[in-house]
Each structure stands twice: as structure tokens, then as C-alpha cells.
Amino acid sequence: MSDYVTLLKESGLKATFQRLHILEVIDKYGHITIEAIYEEVRKVHPSLSVATIYKNIIIMVENSVLVEVPIVGNKSKYELAKRDHMHLICTECGEVEDRPCSAGTDEIFAFLTQQEHFKLTKQQINLYGICSHCQEAAAS
């Protein structure tokens, strides 16, 4: 799994134990808050400081290793950078799941971009609702 080393170096960042550990935790959970990363990471590496997490999240977002997913009514979560996708965000349990962008949205956006003279750099499509799991739980 540790080709995070390559990823970091290609981004001009040193591959420290702390960064690799943070990346592994994010990968494991898919989408995770800073606070949760901190709690998870310090199980293995108790001396790792919050300041280090903040500094690293910021620099890894700047270098497009990570992506911030801001969430209505909650703290932002972070995910590994990957090709465009949508988020299904459950407002009950807070889980975030990725889904491919439906065919067609690309064209719509491309059109909008040209018509608007808006230089698109990033899109975030976030669908909020109740996941099937929480719906089942509510039905009992």
C-alpha cells in the first residue's frame, strides 16, 4: 500500500511517518474529520500532535493529495484525491459515500462553463439525505 511515498514525493513533500500514517487512516475510512484522524492516529502514535495533523492536512490539500469535503451542519471531512465523483451524505449517521458522476453531468457542466465564461477547476456535487441503512433503522 505504501505508494503514498511516491505520491508524496511527486508532490514535493517529504514522506514522513506521520504523513503516511495520516494517509492510511484517511484511506481506511474514506472520508474523515480532522478530529477523528487525530483520535485514530494517536492510537498507534500517541505523541503525534494535533498541530502536525492540521499542518499536514493543509499542505496536502494545497498539493492536491487530499480534498476537503465541506458538509452542511458539520465539520469538513477529507478524502484522498481521486477522479470526480458525487457524495451521498447521510444526515442521520454522517456517513459519506462516493458515487461516479452520472454520464451527462460532464456535458452539462462543460456547457455551463463555456456559456458563463467561468473557468471551472473543481466540482462538488453533494446529495444529502437518509441512507438505506438509517431508513431501515428508523422503520423498526
Considering only 5-13, 15-23, 27-35, 71-79, which stretch makes contact with a second copy by CB under 8 A? 71-79
**128 binding a second copy? (CB under 8 A):** yes
Site for DNA in 47-86 (CB under 7 A): 47-52, 54-56, 58-59, 75
**120 binding a second copy? (CB under 8 A):** yes
CB atoms within 10 A of CB 37: 23
Considering only 9-17, 24-32, 33-41, 120-128, which stretch makes contact with a second copy by CB under 8 A? 120-128
Total residues contacting DNA (rule CB under 7 A)? 25
**What's the Rg (C-alpha) of the chain?**
17
3-state secondary structure of 16: coil
CB atoms within 10 A of CB 79: 19
**H-run or E-run covering 100:** strand 96-100
- Judged by the rule CB under 7 A, the positions of this chain that interact with DNA are 5, 8-9, 13-19, 34-35, 45, 47-52, 54-56, 58-59, 75
